[in-house]
Amino acid sequence: MLFDQKIKELEEKARLIRRDIISMISKAGSGHPGGSLSATDILTVLYFHKMNIRPTEPNWPDRDRLVLSKGHAAPLLYSCLAEAGYFPTSYLGTLRQIGSSLQGHPDMLSLPGIEMTTGSLGQGLSAAVGMALAARVDKKAYRVYCVMGDGETQEGQIWEAAMAAGHYKTDNLTAVLDHNKLQIDGHIEKIKGLDPVVDKWKAFRWNVISGVNGHDVKALIKAFDEAEKVKGRPSIIIADTIKGKGVSFMENNNEFHGRAPTKEETERALEELK
């Protein structure tokens, strides 16, 4: 019963975060709603259920780390941080404004809770592997999570990092592929296909958890729990998601990869997310 209540709370939190994303991007007049909405349930489970963090003590040495490698989904990260208590939610309205710490892509030097500056795609996994190895050197028990997009896994640096992680058996690292099957220029398979994506990660000595519904909170919790139990190998969760999830006219619509909704679209989106 308690677990069912927790699931409902996480689903409600994800709905609230989706509203934040739409409101922030609409007010800013620019941003990336599609990929932020597709990864919302993933980050909601991490920040509000799985990760061991202290928002009032953002530099706590034993905290779990999250690297949002797909840095253009910054509105999602900012909302999670604010809703978790790293800074006031009222600050979310300053997204992309001159002088605001809420830049178009995350900057670890400008805001508490951001573990890595990202936005230049393909680099986040390298940083996450370094953090995982640092935990081993420092004899710390924290875990590292890295959320990646489809398009950036077409880049070579991802696979260099994947090779290193497998070689050094970084079992305190869990990567998540936000597998919404779209990138800025269109469908992944038309631009540069990832399949067989499971076999690729297995070849780099990773434990692969595939077939996970990236919008099913219960399934995500199960996948993260499974990854945590694996020893001697890093894990990756292939989370099947829908770009623009939660807003009917944004779902699987690549027009909203990097376009802010109009006033009318914003009102409609927020109504759907009531």
Residue 233 has pLDDT above 90, yes or no: yes
Cα–Cα distance, 11 to 5 (Å, whole number): 10
Q: What pLDDT is stored for residue 118 in this prediction? A: 97
Residue 2 has pLDDT above 80, yes or no: no
* Separation of CA 8 from chain center: 20
Cα–Cα distance, 129 to 145 (Å, whole number): 9
Rounded average pLDDT over 59-67: 98
Rounded average pLDDT over 61-84: 98
Record the pTM.
0.97
- Is residue 31 within 8 A of residue 239, CB to CB? The reply is no
The pLDDT tens digits for 106-159 are 999 999 999 999 999 999 999 999 999 999 999 999 999 999 999 999 999 999
Q: What pLDDT is stored for residue 3 in this prediction? A: 83
Which class is domain 2-272? alpha beta
Q: What pLDDT is stored for residue 44 in this prediction? A: 98
Sign for the CA dihedral angle at 108, 111, 112, 114 comes to: negative
- Is residue 261 within 8 A of residue 25, CB to CB? The reply is yes
Question: Could you state, in order of their start, the residue ranges of all structural domains in the chain?
Answer: 2-272
